[in-house]
Amino acid sequence: MKWIGAVAATAVALVLPAVLGPYPLAIAINVLFFAYLGQAWNIIGGYAGQLSAGHAVFVGVGGYATAVLAAETGLTPWVGMFVGAALAGALGGVIGYLGFRFGLRGFYFVLLTVAFAEVCRIVVSNWERVGGAVGLYITFTGDPRRLSFQDDRAWYYVALCLLLLATAVAWAVERRRFGIYLTAIREDEVACEALGVDTLRYKLLAMVLSSFLTGLAGAFYAYRYSSLQPNAVFGIPLSVEIIIRPIVGGAGTLLGPLVGSLILTPLGELSRALFGQGGWHGAHLVMYGVLLVAVVLFVPQGVVPWLRDLLRRKPA
């Protein structure tokens, strides 16, 4: 049953670009892209329950590494993105090691991740070699070998591949002992340690995996939007965008990030389109805020577990 659903959804996703107009297609790309980011975050933030609130830093590192390598050595972004992701993963390892080794939990871990993201933002803003505060602009080539496409449909499929990859990784994590350890750490870390689980090791692994995947998204961001600005890719607002989807959809569930993105991305785009012209900037963020408050108060587990319960109670 689950398999049929998954195959059907993938099939629909595959043919969707054929029927979508340019604007809905652009929204669909964002839905997939932010679902991917959410899924990457979900591994550490959802399954392992370590609220990393500075995840944008990995997007920034991945994006900058890819773009700078391409500009200085001519390395194709297709390879560069993995170098960037590896760097992001390494940074994730450092942040995770420091945070977990010194036993920072909850709010303290949140602050540590935010502080690291801010430090990176300030360093990059002041680093003239990589564009300083203005950032980097990537010239549009339209050459697929340089990760640049004339047709938005190509971007759609790249985003879809990314999302499928992240979902497969999350699924594999969930199915294995590793995932069970992570959930156990989230539920009761002390008990977990008492039972002999090497919590430091598993949290660290989850963090590295999550930041590696997030770093991959950096290249996508850089080349899709043709620009990298320190405040945009390292800033707290992007981190919020990353976190809010899996939270609304259901942190620690396989479908949560996608469902969250399906709800939030079109809503965000819509309110931006509706209110953005009249100078009503920020309307979509007010809405995010209201949704976040509503979710915490009424469906703290997120939409997916809530729906699951609803269906179970009333078997159709």
- Closest to another protein by CB, 114 or 154: 114
The 3-state secondary structure of the chain reads: CHHHHHHHHHHHHHHHHHHCCHHHHHHHHHHHHHHHHHHHHHHHHHHCCCCCCCCHHHHHHHHHHHHHHHHHHCCCHHHHHHHHHHHHHHHHHHHHHHHHHCCCCCHHHHHHHHHHHHHHHHHHHCCHHHCCCCCEECCCCCCHHHCCCCCHHHHHHHHHHHHHHHHHHHHHHHHCHHHHHHHHHHHCHHHHHHCCCCHHHHHHHHHHHHHHHHHHHHHHHHHHHCEECHHHHCCHHHHHHHHHHHHHHCCCCCCHHHHHHHHHHHHHHHHHHHHHCCCCCCHHHHHHHHHHHHHHHHCCCCHHHHHHHHHHHCCC
Q: Work out which of 14, 172, 290, 311 binds another protein, going by CB under 8 A.
A: 290
Q: Is 105 in the site for another protein (CB under 8 A)?
A: yes
- Closest to another protein by CB, 86 or 292: 292
Binding mask 189-228 for another protein (x = CB under 8 A): ----------------------------------------
Q: Which stretch binds another protein (CB under 8 A): 24-32, 86-94, 151-159, 294-302?
A: 294-302
CA distance 2 to 239: 31
Q: Work out which of 17, 38, 49, 179 binds another protein, going by CB under 8 A.
A: 49
Q: Which stretch binds another protein (CB under 8 A): 59-67, 74-82, 156-164, 286-294?
A: 286-294
Q: Is 107 in the site for another protein (CB under 8 A)?
A: yes
- Closest to another protein by CB, 191 or 290: 290
Residue 277 in contact with residue 270, Cβ under 8 Å?
Answer: no
Q: Is 273 in the site for another protein (CB under 8 A)?
A: no
Q: Is 142 in the site for another protein (CB under 8 A)?
A: no
- Closest to another protein by CB, 3 or 298: 298
Q: Work out which of 267, 292, 299, 307 binds another protein, going by CB under 8 A.
A: 292
Q: Work out which of 11, 119, 161, 195 binds another protein, going by CB under 8 A.
A: 119
- C-alpha gyration radius of the chain: 19
Give least dist CB 132 to another protein, A.
Answer: 9
Q: Work out which of 10, 126, 141, 150 binds another protein, going by CB under 8 A.
A: 126
Q: Work out which of 94, 110, 180, 270 binds another protein, going by CB under 8 A.
A: 110
Closest CA to 28 of 15, 17, 41, 39: 17
Q: Which stretch binds another protein (CB under 8 A): 47-55, 68-76, 176-184, 203-211?
A: 47-55
Which residues of this protein are in contact with another protein, per CB under 8 A?
Answer: 49, 51, 53, 98, 102, 104-108, 110-112, 114-116, 118-119, 122-123, 125-126, 133, 236-237, 240, 247, 279-283, 285-286, 288-293, 295-297, 300
